[in-house]
Amino acid sequence: MIRIFSLYLFCAFIMSCNAQTSEINSEVKTKENMSKAILASGCFWGTEYFLKRVDGVLSTQVGYTGGFVENPTYEQVCSKRTGHYEASEIIFDIEKTNFEKILRVFFETHDPTQKNGQGPDIGPQYKSAIFYFNESQKKTAEDLIQILEAKGLSIATEVLPAAVFYSAESYHQDYYDRKGGVPYCHGYRILFYLKKIKFLKQLFVENSFCTSILASVKSVFSWGNEYLKFQY
């Protein structure tokens, strides 16, 4: 039952990436209709794993940012003496998605209330942070945090100006897609109110296994709300 419920959650995540409605209108265009985001939410393997699956994301890479050491190594960052965060750089097509939608996935795939780490990974390099490139991105981040705090969450995510991003070693890139498995300190939970059942139905039509269990989706979500402490 737990495995089936986990599948429900992953399906919900995929559809929410593609179909979330906007509460905030904030987007900045570039010459090539592309934009960039840098986000930190614990181990960068998990951050990249979820964000690269957002429809409209063109590329991702993991690396280090926010610190004072140039060209840091993984070992240096793990020493907690560089000031750097483990982060993911996301390049996305603004005709297919926007910064707000990416931030919603960011917030819903880690615990933004945890301080000084994420899951079992403790330390300043694992803190939750949004690195903004302009005032529009900053406002979008602050507005979403305000929405979550209005739901009773105490958000620990920092909103910081973008700094130099140093790409991490090659063995960290696309880690789970190369090695298999799923993130150990990231997961999906609903934080923003959306018509998830409609989105799930669209996905289930494309998946024979999901179709076979569509009838029980509503009942699963009724107890899932309590199980995952969904915030509405």
Query: Could you give the residue numbers annotated as active site?
Result: 43
Pick the closest to residue 19 from 209, 187, 222, 197 (CA basis).
Answer: 197
